[in-house]
Chain A
Amino acid sequence: MSMGILPQAQIELVRRNALGETLVYRINSRFKIVLRRDEASTIIVETP
């Protein structure tokens, strides 16, 4: 949340790194973050 990823945020998976263990997301079309897959899997995302 501190990084500005709040409810209603638009999250787009941009890239999977080798073996898909790290994932790159674009948040609200403004900035990109990297997450490990096991950390990303704890985040609940509702698809429109």
Chain B
Amino acid sequence: MITSTPVARKLIIMAGNPNSGKSTLFNLLTGLNQKVGNYPGVTVDKKTGSIELGFHKEVTLLDLPGAYSMYPSSKDERIVVRQFLASDPRPDLILYVADLSQLEKQILLLTQIIDLGFPVILALNMADMAGITIQTQYLEEHLKIPVVLISGKTGMGIAALKIQIASMLGNGVEVNEPYYRYSEQEKKLTDHFKNIITSPTDYGRLLTLHHGAWLDNIPAAIRKEIKEKSEKEGFNPIQAQIHETMSRYDRFTPVIKKALHLDAGGAGAKITDRIDRWVMHPLLGSIIFFLIMLLIFQAIFAWATWPMDFIEYGMGELSLGIRQVFPSGWIVDLLCDGVLAGLTGILVFIPQIAILFLFIGILEEIGYMARAVSMFDMMMRKVGLNGRSIVALVSGGACAIPAIMSTRNISNWKERLITIMVTPFISCSARIPVYGILIGFAVPRGRWFGFEQQGLALMGLYGIGIVAALVAAYILKKILRSEDRSFLMMELPVYRSPVVKNLFYLVVEKTKAFVVGAGKIIIIISLVLWFLASFGPGQKEVSRNESRIETSGPIRPALENSYAGILGKWIEPAIAPLGFDWKMGIALICSFAAREVFVGTMATIYSIEDDSDVASIRTSMSKDRHAETGELVYDQATTWSLLIFYAFAMQCMSTLAIVKRETKSWKWPIIQFIMMTGLAYIGSWLVYQWLS
């Protein structure tokens, strides 16, 4: 049988087991010519890229999620099966990547793909590792496919691989006889469905019989016939799967044993055992994990500060430049206070996202993340989370956005959703300026058992965030229903040094995903907030010097009369039981764009020259008294109430945008908003009533 595709653009699919080095090879072959999308209906990254191969200028490379076999036990593996059983698009070539040090268990999926009738190249990765000897000709003779030795780390063999790919795409390939020898029952069934199931191979039909219950695009009548015929023939899918798997292993295991020699303790196994003694120690392991997370946390704060300041400064200067060049008016205000302010709100998060994903990438690449997941799985599972949730929860201390993006590797949808829903409870860096101002009113300076009291209050606020996240997770665990079974069966890869190129592509990809995905929504919400703060009913735009939230000025009747001001007054009866007045109401409304806007809004309301001068804002706020009673506005009760509100409330449009993107629905960000803000309201009310 000769395969050929009439379309000009060739498609190559990359497949292989998890941790086989597929992504590294994908990055090497495509460079920055790659884009990330989603498979329909699921939030699993669909990575495609373009490669140039001599006269084949138009070649698309699709990187499939890692899978162990055509009998899926996760959503990722189901995607792989769907892709291979789909009639369109049918790939021109399969590039199968296998890790030489784990070759024996990586050949099963390869032989299944061969049986689906695709031309295949076997790329044996990590050929540069010490302690491994391989005789590729044995494999080539047995599998009847070309085998190329490569190293994703050093780039060894990549040129030879490209030549092999170009040759197979150009010449067409003779597809081999099926590798698996079918049982009589399987033969009978696949023959029966030959004209019913549109698959060009017997194995494709056999897999459709196995997975007919969940595969797409199977008409109900055929689904019914598959079920009835299988039952009539006494077809037991589990027994058939065991038979097939054993049969394949029986064929290729002796060949692998003959072809591959692996030194005892070679390929990093010995050093991995030594490191694991420390890293996976029940007590030391936890301490090491928290030290690593502390390092990441500190790095995010320390390294992200100056680029964030630079971005804010640069955008501020740009805004100033526009105002100097163009005549003032609502268009310039819209551009500067709406569009540029929204853009700043997106760009300013890039350093934190990049640094966090750089560290997560390093931990994944070296093989540490799998250990961390296994250590915290039990604790996380008790509250409905997953071992992998620990990464998101800790990262949430810096910023919920990259933390939520990092949940993509949680395969169980319910556990992933719960992680997404509760991560914003963890106090992020944006809350720090708010805490910084308010703790000064609520807690006097001084020491308590040798500890700085204000520092303890800050720690307490972080503590209640963690408790809220865990309690909310437990409640969601009880409420949410899912058919997905939660299980942990995970391979612990050997420790390896990270591939710098991989880290670079990961950081670029994640940053791009945030800017493009959440950016659009953030811009829209920024424009709405600009409108609310700049206009009032029956009036023209409030003049720039009076209306801009970021700009200093006298207490402005304009802001009071803007839609935001009116909203502040309108919600005053609702927030009065929490001890808040209309000015706080404006700050609350504006803070729904981002929590840190609280400082700027307060600076505007209290006529502070420079909103970064926290001490000045604090002084002005601390002197503010109620007009009627003459009592301090920011007394203990009101301040603690406000602190609790900011600790719990969902006040970050960027987070809501990213939750919408990750859950593919507005339902979950809306529920999250109501859940968090509802808890904030109740918590604030209780605190205010208790302290006042």
Q: Which chain A residues have a beta carbon within 8 Å of chain B's beta carbons?
A: 1-4, 6-7, 14-19, 21-22, 24, 29-36, 39
Contacts and interface: CB of A to CB of B under 8 A. Distances in A.
A29 to B, nearest CB: 8
Given A2-B68, A15-B276, A17-B280, A32 B492 contact: yes
Contacts of B285: 17
B303 interface: no
A48 B109 CA distance: 31
B488 A34 contact: yes
Contacts of B489: 3, 33-35, 39
Nearest to A34: B374
A14 B580 CA distance: 58
B488 A2 contact: no
B377 A21 contact: yes
A31 B489 CA distance: 13
Most buried by A among B245, B276, B374, B377: B374
Nearest to B262: A30
A1 to B, nearest CB: 5
B378 interface: yes
Contact of B280 (A24, A29, A33): A24
Most buried by B among A7, A21, A36: A36
A30 B273 CA distance: 12
A34 to B, nearest CB: 4
Q: Please name the 3 residue pairs, one residue from A and one from B, whose CB atoms are nearest each other, closest first.
A: A4-B105, A21-B378, A2-B68
Contacts of B71: 2
Interface string B58-85: 0000000000110101000000000000
Interface size, B (range): 35 or more
A34 B490 contact: yes
B102 to A, nearest CB: 6
B246 interface: yes
Contacts of A39: 487-489
Contacts of A35: 488-489
A17 B282 contact: yes
Main secondary structure of the interface of B (DSSP, over half): helix
A2 B108 contact: yes
B68 A34 contact: no
Nearest to B492: A32
B668 to A, nearest CB: 27
A21 to B, nearest CB: 4
Contacts of A15: 276, 280
17 contacts: A1-B241, A1-B246, A2-B73, A3-B489, A4-B105, A6-B245, A17-B374, A18-B283, A18-B286, A21-B377, A22-B488, A24-B276, A30-B102, A34-B370, A34-B492, A36-B487, A39-B488
Interface in B359-389: 370, 374-375, 377-379, 381
B483 interface: no
B104 interface: yes
Contacts of A30: 102, 104-105, 262, 269
Interface string B343-356: 00000000000000
Given A15-B276, A16-B282, 4 more contacts: A3-B68, A18-B379, A39-B487, A39-B488
Interface string B256-300: 000000101000010000001000101101100000000000000
A22 to B, nearest CB: 5
B335 to A, nearest CB: 54
Interface of B: 68-69, 71, 73, 102, 104-105, 108-109, 241-242, 245-246, 249, 262, 264, 269, 276, 280, 282-283, 285-286, 370, 374-375, 377-379, 381, 487-492
Nearest to A27: B105
A35 B370 CA distance: 12
Contacts of A33: 489-492
Contacts of B283: 18
Nearest to B280: A15
Contacts of B264: 29
B342 to A, nearest CB: 44
B265 to A, nearest CB: 9
Nearest to A16: B282
B246 A6 contact: yes
Contact of B491 (A3, A7, A29): A3
A6 B280 contact: no
Nearest to B109: A2
Contacts of B68: 2-3
Contacts of A2: 68-69, 71, 73, 108-109, 245
Contact of A22 (B104, B276, B377): B377
A4 to B, nearest CB: 3
A22 B374 contact: yes
B104 A4 contact: yes
B81 to A, nearest CB: 12
A29 B263 CA distance: 11
Contacts of B73: 2
A22 B375 contact: yes
Contacts of B487: 36, 39
Contacts of A19: 378
Contacts of A36: 377-378, 381, 487-488
Nearest to A19: B378
A47 B242 CA distance: 22
A1 B374 contact: no
A31 B491 contact: yes
Nearest to B370: A34
A6 B245 CA distance: 9
Contacts of B286: 18
Nearest to B70: A2
A23 to B, nearest CB: 9
Contacts of B108: 2, 4
A40 B483 CA distance: 21
A7 B374 CA distance: 25
A7 B250 CA distance: 11
Contact of B249 (A6, A21, A32): A6
A34 B375 CA distance: 10
A11 to B, nearest CB: 13
A29 B490 CA distance: 16
A40 B378 CA distance: 14
A21 B249 CA distance: 31
B366 to A, nearest CB: 15
Contacts of A31: 102, 105, 491-492
Nearest to A36: B488
Nearest to A29: B264
Contacts of B491: 3, 31-34
A24 B374 contact: yes
A21 B387 CA distance: 12
